[in-house]
């Protein structure tokens, strides 16, 4: 089967499939895109972080990689530099989540959203724990429990602080949130001797999570 670059105009409707197996799935419409299902227990709904393969590569669900020899494409290709929404406006059917939404199949529509951004150069505070590229949250290099929060100081400098998710939680790099470990894929980060010497992380507690990530 041949593949083609996405034409102009809105794409046709599609359905996203979700199972609690911690795997990436090829997008049902774009063969070079793939997504990951995350059950957000705070809002009782799914989120769908999605990604695009490098130019001329397709996503292979079997190997969980972008590949030139992936399974044939029955759809179209999204431009590799397109910025597409990571969360469709409605949710698919969860297979077996805890406190799941109603059991019904819903069709979602994906629309391309080409955006431009103006880059800003930041100066990092000399006492920062992390070389912050911009304000936001960043994963700790040695494990999946700690993370950095980069904030802008009154002197217009970036300062990174190290935090630790609550017991039983880990840091989700895609959602930029602490999530229950049972909802996260296996951690592949490796602790090195140098990372053992970093400062102590500021602990977070479950009751802190909602306000912490919106302030």
Question: What pLDDT digit, counting tens, does each position of 23-58 carry?
Answer: 888 888 888 888 888 777 776 677 788 888 887 888
12 assigned to some structural domain: yes
How many structural domains comprise the chain?
Answer: 2
Residue 99 or 156, more confident: 156
Q: Does residue 78 contact residue 33 with C-beta atoms inside 8 Å?
A: yes
What pLDDT shows up at residue 144?
A: 92
Strands 158-164 and 146-152: antiparallel
Q: Are residues 22 and 103 in the same domain?
A: yes
Q: Are residues 24 and 110 in the same domain?
A: yes
Residue 29, SS3? coil
What pLDDT shows up at residue 147?
A: 93
pLDDT for 72-91, tens place per residue? 788 788 876 544 443 333 33
Q: What is the mean pLDDT of the chain?
A: 73
127 assigned to some structural domain: no
Regarding pTM above 0.75, the answer is no
Mean pLDDT of 11-30: 78
Q: Are residues 96 and 153 in the same domain?
A: no
Q: Does residue 58 contact residue 3 with C-beta atoms inside 8 Å?
A: yes
Residue 197, SS3? helix
122 assigned to some structural domain: no
What pLDDT shows up at residue 64?
A: 83
Q: What are phi and psi of 147, to 5 degrees?
A: -160, 165
Residue 182 per-residue DSSP state: G
What pLDDT shows up at residue 80?
A: 61
Q: Are residues 44 and 148 in the same domain?
A: no
Residue 150's CB is within 10 A of a number of other CB atoms, namely 22
pLDDT for 91-104, tens place per residue? 333 443 333 333 22
Looking at the DSSP bridge assignments, the partners of residue 137 are 149
Host domain of residue 56: 1-117
């Amino acid at each position: 089967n041949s593949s083609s670059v996405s034409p102009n105009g809105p794409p046709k409707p599609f359905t996203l499939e979700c199972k609690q197996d911690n795997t990436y799935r090829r997008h049902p419409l774009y063969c070079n895109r793939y997504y990951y299902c995350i059950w957000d227990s705070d809002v009782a709904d799914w989120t769908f972080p999605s990604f695009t393969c490098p130019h001329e590569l397709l996503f292979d669900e079997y190997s969980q990689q972008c590949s030139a020899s992936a399974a044939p494409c029955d759809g179209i290709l999204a431009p590799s530099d397109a910025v597409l929404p990571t969360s469709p406006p409605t949710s698919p059917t969860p297979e077996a989540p805890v406190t799941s939404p109603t059991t019904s199949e819903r069709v979602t529509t994906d629309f391309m959203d080409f955006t431009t951004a103006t880059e800003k150069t930041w100066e990092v505070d000399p006492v920062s724990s992390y070389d912050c590229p911009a304000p936001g949250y960043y994963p700790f290099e040695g494990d999946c429990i700690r993370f950095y929060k980069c904030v802008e100081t009154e002197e217009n400098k970036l300062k990174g602080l190290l935090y630790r998710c609550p017991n039983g939680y880990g840091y989700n790099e895609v959602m930029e949130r602490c999530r229950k470990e049972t909802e996260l894929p296996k951690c592949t980060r490796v602790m090195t001797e140098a990372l053992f010497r970093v400062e102590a992380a500021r602990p977070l507690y479950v009751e802190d999570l909602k306000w912490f990530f919106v302030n």
